[in-house]
Structure 1
Amino acid sequence: MKTNWKGLIAAPHTPFAADGSLNLGVIEKQCEKLITDGVIGAFVCGSTGEGVSMSVAERKAVVARWIDVASGRLKVVVHVGHTSIADAAELAADAQAGGADGISALAPYYFKPASVGHLLDFLAPVASAAPELPFFYYHIPSMTGAALPMVSLLEQASERIPSFAGLKFTHNDLLEFAACLRFENGRYDIFWGSDECMLPALSVGAVGFVGSTYNYSAPLYQKLRAAFAASDLAEAMRLSDTVMDAVRALLRNPGLSSGKAIMEGMGIPVGAPRPPLRPLTTAQAEILVARLRELGAIG
């Protein structure tokens, strides 16, 4: 069920009010910025969206709001991953019923799958709850501990998941990523998920990208993609250096907290992350936003 989606898909932050409750009214502002910046989709309730810190009911509410405000102008891919198959399947069915464009799930991260077969035992009933939607496995071993071979997953997935469409590949193993891109002559969509390494990913053939920094720095990445497409390697390398400098600045503090501070600094009030994460201090946020503006990573 390959989609052939090309371009940037942002992983948006879930906006919270001061008391920690959902602040769904902000999503329209988030969505309009993505559209203005040429982003093609939103990967909702993933790591950046703090999906694992939200209840099933909250996740459904966020998804419904994104589908409503996107109104067909953005692809809405819903992360339904959970440690419970039943809850993940419920989220998948809800996404299909609500009009989402795709679903994705990561590996269970408490009791971990010991093999690709065990992982598919978990994923297959989740995907089957939304059989009309393309299903993408969210490969993020740094968070799940499931460092399984992805080519093996591609070899076995379609037999267990008819709607299998590919991967969100958030891992810096470029060799494995390239092998996945070339699997059966590009049978599946393989979305690159490490923003700071876009140029290396482009060099091996990446065409689709999912990332958190596209929420605020999409124009910078669009310029990088355009320079690479024009074979202007010097400009592409210059822009890649800017991307890496911006990510280094962001990662001086916890990345999710930094991302939310940047959004706040740009006038999009997504609020603080949920515990156990903490927001940046006012001083930390001001230094970060100033540095990204100095680099030209944000407007």
Structure 2
Amino acid sequence: MMGSKLNFDGYMAPVFTPFDDAHKLKLEIVPGYSKYLHASGIKGILVNGTSGEGCAQSLEERKAVAEAWAKCRPEGQTIVVQVGGGPLPDVIALAKHAEELGVDGIMCLHDLFFRPAGVDQLVDYLALVAAAAPRTPLFYYHLPGFTGINVSMSALLEKCASENKVPTFGGLKFTSSDLQELGKCVQVIKKFSSNNYRVFLGCDDLLLPAYTLGSISAIGTTFNIFPEAALKLEKLLHQGDFKKAAKAQEAISKAVNFITDNGLRPWVPSMKAAMNACATIEMGPTRNPQTSAFTQEQKNTMGIEVKNILSDIFV
């Protein structure tokens, strides 16, 4: 029996998880955060992903964060919950819990220690997770730079489409700079168009080239921080104004490089500091082993500089 599919195209924010200074959950921030994103035009959210530090939380904490977002969701907001990256019993429990909350989809990292040797093992793993949430679309989270798992995503899509071992399979989040493989994924999706699969790009600085390959949806950390810039780029792409879109992509990439000091700073602590600086929603610190040491003065400077970098997009 085929599961339901996620009918969502566009940009989705992988939300941060707010912590207090003692690194405990600060979930009272979530309702205002949800309203901010929705009012900004971001209608989709991913909970407990990399930006949300899901793998740094306990089972009960991950459930509590998902519940907080589900409880305050405005009408028209799409919620996907990342349930993987932990022991399989916990992953299954989180998948069941997410379905009970009535979310629109679940996303899953593979086990991060016992990694799959190939596509067959990955499909078998996803089948176990899908069975725990048989009514909820399941997406695989392809993140080779973090996980070291770099099996072919086009082969995964082809196998899931042709064999139906994962009846709720809905596609994947593709967080990789391998645009050749992304292009292959798009072709597989076209081949099996009746399956209604989605591939969400996970690289904020590749939105323009990915779009030209046929990837029209994305999940990007910066959509939290300066959503208006991402949505402006999306609009320009849909309008076919690639000259202005290239200018917008250049500005977004420049802002990302400034925030991360050209990749020398770790991604999540840098982006969380930028969220505090640019969106003025206090997310608090990252959890160990991720650490950040931004002073308030540095955050203020970051907010001013990022705003200046992005100003050209709206000229």
1:168 aligned counterpart, secondary structure: strand
Give, in whole Å, the separation in 2 of the partners of 1:170 and 1:13: 17
2:52 aligned counterpart, secondary structure: coil
**Gapped runs of 5+ residues in structure 1?**
none
**Is 1:155 aligned to residue 169 of structure 2?**
no
Give, in whole Å, the separation in 2 of the partners of 1:73 and 1:272: 30
1:63-102 correspondence to structure 2 within 5 Å: 63-102=66-105
**Is 1:201 aligned to residue 231 of structure 2?**
no
The answer to whether the 8 Å contact 1:2/1:166 transfers is no
Shift of 1:185: 4.6
Which range is displaced more, 180-189 or 251-260? 180-189
Shift of 1:179: 1.5
Matched letter for residue 287 of structure 2: R
Matched letter for residue 115 of structure 1: G
The answer to whether the 8 Å contact 2:81/2:103 transfers is yes
1:76 aligned counterpart, secondary structure: strand
Matched letter for residue 190 of structure 1: V
Percent of aligned pairs sharing the same letter: 34
Give, in whole Å, the separation in 2 of the partners of 1:66 and 1:173: 32
Indicate the residue corresponding to 1:137 in structure 2: 140
Which range is displaced more, 23-32 or 1-10? 1-10
**Is 1:123 aligned to residue 126 of structure 2?**
yes
Partner of residue 218 from structure 1, selected from 218, 221, 227: 227
Q: Write out per-residue CA displacement over residues 55-111 of structure 1, whole angstroms, 9 at most, x where no aligned residue.
A: 010000000010111144311100000331111010000000011110010122112
Which range is displaced more, 44-53 or 257-266? 257-266
1:11-22 correspondence to structure 2 within 5 Å: 11-22=14-25
1:30 aligned counterpart, secondary structure: helix
1:122 aligned counterpart, secondary structure: helix
Matched letter for residue 8 of structure 2: W
1:1-299 correspondence to structure 2 within 5 Å: 1-158=4-161, 159-183=164-188, 184-186=191-193, 187=195, 188-252=197-261, 253-265=265-277, 266-282=279-295, 283-296=297-310
Matched letter for residue 37 of structure 2: L
The answer to whether the 8 Å contact 1:109/1:143 transfers is no
The answer to whether the 8 Å contact 1:83/1:110 transfers is no
**Gapped runs of 5+ residues in structure 2?**
none
Q: Write out per-residue CA displacement over residues 147-189 of structure 1, whole angstroms, 9 at most, x where no aligned residue.
A: 0011111122252210001011111111111211221254411
The answer to whether the 8 Å contact 2:207/2:249 transfers is yes
The answer to whether the 8 Å contact 1:258/1:285 transfers is no
The answer to whether the 8 Å contact 1:261/1:280 transfers is no
Q: Write out per-residue CA displacement over residues 207-266 of structure 1, whole angstroms, 9 at most, x where no aligned residue.
A: 211111100211111111111222222211111110110110121122211211122223
TM-score calculated relative to the size of structure 1: 0.95
TM-score calculated relative to the size of structure 2: 0.91
Instruction: Indicate the RMSD between aligned Cα atoms, in angstroms.
Output: 1.7
Runs of 4 or more above 4 Å deviation: none
Matched letter for residue 257 of structure 2: R
